Amino acid sequence: MSQKVAGVKGMNDLLPGEIEIWQHVEAQARELFGRFGYGEIRTPMVEDTALFVRSVGEETDIVGKEMYTFNDKADRSLSLRPEGTAPAARAYIEHSIANQEPLTRWFYAGPMFRYERMKTGRYRQFYQIGAEAYGAKEGAQDVEMMDMVVQFLERLGLKDITLNINSLGDEVCRPTYHAKLVEYLQAHREALCGDCQKRMEKNPLRVLDCKNEKCQAIAAAGPNVLESLCEPCRAHFDDVQRKLTALGVRHVVNPRMVRGLDYYTRTVFEFIASHPALGTASTVGAGGRYDKLVKSLGGPDAPAVGFACGLDRLVLLLKESGQQFTVRPDVFVAVADAGSHDAALVLASRLRREGLRVEFDTRGGSLKSQMKRADKSSAEFTLVLGEAERTSGQAKLKPMAGGEPIPVALDEVARVVRERKVVSA
């Protein structure tokens, strides 16, 4: 007996019964983001490794520990994308989008890859829906993006999610904060984990993002980044807060919050859920401003802001919500005798062309077994087709939830089903 082949650990199959939730989330995002003027882009799942080293940061855990990196047959170093912003920025530069339009709004949806320690809501192949806006340096763009996420989560019916915001300053004021932070961390160096002792030298902000409890306690008592903001960064952050308030978007200022990527400047934000189903993976969406990323990758000096939501975590929350996402078939077409099988196949095909969702078991079988399958399918109606129905052109729609059968002409089935669905709705 040959050995069974299993899927790759941390990369999950999405099957009918669950995939409907994913489709619902993606459909809600596409419709809503379109309202905000965002167009969809699709970038390759594989990029030049240098793209992520230069953008995400060589000292981040993502680049240093988590990327799936390999050499192709031309000996080029390639990586599966661990996040969506850097590929989008690369596409923005490569296609000279800045020369075509002053303000660009994009969104994307798809799989990302990181070799992480797995737990609930955190997998090695995970899915994100995200958006990027290029060309606007104003706080209004930051707020529009956060408002879009708020409306997205509301459309999904998700509650008890808190928006945390912070400002990391820019190239003018951040060095001052860095100096204060390094001085503080040096005084606690021996109590920090080994990784944070290394981070202190190259990117001290990474210490604030460490998951080690001792490091978190030390960081919490350290310097406040908001106290080091220069006047323009302070004005920008005040403007963001004022506009969020004007929109009625509740938020919490969290000066200890940073993002795990190097390209962020000024505004950063996270949407944090309190539901126990997520365990410690409570952030369902996050993002911020990255005004220098495009230029650092060889593009124009274009300000930008973006976010990403984790689909895996949103789906976990929706599973817990008790909402129903499976779409019921309209009709199950059953065959009463072998001579009616071809006619039933033709009828099912025609009803599908007329817009109905139709279940039909191509194997045939006894009418009793077909009726069991009809019941299991949760179809709203069952239509049995036999010689009598073929000859007369008349049949009966049996409501599977109970009730009297409905006489119907075979060429009027679609119309009658649609009318009955409207009445029941």
Per-residue pLDDT tens digits for 146-190: 999 999 999 999 988 999 999 999 999 988 988 898 888 888 888
Distance CA 110, CA 93 (A): 21
Q: Domains of the chain, with CATH numbers?
A: 19-173+229-321 (3.30.930.10), 331-419 (3.40.50.800)
Q: At what angle do helices 19-35 and 311-321 cross, to 10 degrees?
A: 110
Residue 127 neighbours by CB under 8 Å, 6+ apart: 22, 109, 110, 111, 112, 310, 311, 312
Please tell me whether residue 222 adopts helix, strand or coil conformation. coil
Condensed to tens digits (0 to 9), the pLDDT of residues 384-422 reads 999 999 999 999 999 998 889 999 999 999 999 999 876
Averaged pLDDT score across all residues of the chain? 91
Residue recorded with tokens 């995200």: 130
Confidence class of residue 1 from pLDDT cuts 50, 70 and 90?
low
Q: Which of 394, 395, 368, 392 is nearest to 384 (CA)?
A: 395
Binning pLDDT at 50, 70 and 90, where does residue 425 land? low
With the C-alpha atoms ordered 104, 105, 110, 116, is the resulting torsion angle positive or negative? positive
Give the pLDDT confidence score for residue 260 in this predicted structure: 62
Of residues 401 and 62, more confidence is placed in 401
Give pLDDT, residue 48: 94
Give the pLDDT confidence score for residue 249 in this predicted structure: 96
pLDDT mean over 284-299: 94
CA distance 209 to 416: 60
What's this model's pTM, rounded to 2 decimal places? 0.89
pLDDT digits (tens, 9 = 90+) for 80-106: 999 999 999 999 999 999 999 999 999
Burial 99-114 (b: 16+ CB within 10 A, else e): eeeeebbbbbbbebbb
* 101 marked among binding-site residues: no
Exposed/middle/buried for residue 231 (C-beta within 10 Å: 0-12, 13-18, 19+): exposed
- Alpha carbon distance 230, 174 (integer Å): 9
Judge whether 320 is annotated as a binding position. Answer: no
Alpha helices for 16-81 (secondary structure H): 19-35, 49-52, 61
Confidence check: pLDDT of 268 > 60: yes
Sheet holding 358-360, edge to edge: 358-360, 331-335, 381-385, 394-399, 406-409
pLDDT of residue 153: 96
83 is in an annotated binding site: yes
Backbone phi, psi, residue 84, to 5°: -100, -15
Has 259 been labeled as part of a binding site?
A: yes
Confidence of residue 115 (pLDDT cuts 50, 70, 90): very high
User: Does 389 carry a binding-site annotation?
Assistant: no
Is 84 marked as binding a ligand? yes
Tokens of 147: 């408002």
- The reply, when asked if residue 264 is annotated as ligand binding, is yes
